[in-house]
Amino acid sequence: MSVERTLAIIKPDAVAAGAAGKILTRVEQAGFKILALKMIRMSFDDAAGFYAVHSARPFFKSLCTFMTQGPCIPMVLEGGNAIARWRDLMGATDPAKAAAGTIRKDFAASIEANAVHGSDATTTAAFEIAYFFSARELQ
Ligand code: ATP
Ligand code: MG
At 31 the pLDDT is 98
At residue 39's C-alpha, the angle toward residues 56 and 29, to 5°, is 95
The Cα–Cα gap between 55 and 69 comes to 19
Mean pLDDT of all residues belonging to the chain: 98
- Find the 87 Cα to ligand 2 centroid distance in Å: 9
If one residue of 7, 11, 54, 63 were mutated to test the ligand 1 pocket, choosing by the most ligand atoms within 8 A of its CB, it would be 63
Q: Which domains does the chain have, with CATH numbers?
A: 3-40+72-138 (3.30.70.141)
* pLDDT at residue number 20: 98
The single residue of 117, 128, 129, 132 carrying the catalytic annotation is 117
Query: Which pLDDT belongs to residue 1?
Result: 76
pLDDT in tens, 22-81: 999 999 999 999 999 999 999 999 999 999 999 999 999 999 999 999 999 999 999 999
Query: How confident is the model at residue 139, as a pLDDT?
Result: 80
Please classify residue 102 by burial: count the beta carbons closer than 10 Å to its beta carbon, then call 0-12 exposed, 13-18 middle and 19+ buried: buried
Beta bridge partners of 8: 75, 118
pLDDT tens track for 71-129: 999 999 999 999 999 999 999 999 999 999 999 999 999 999 999 999 999 999 999 99
pTM of the predicted structure, to 2 decimals: 0.97
Per-residue pLDDT, 70: 98
Distance CA 58, CA 16 (A): 25
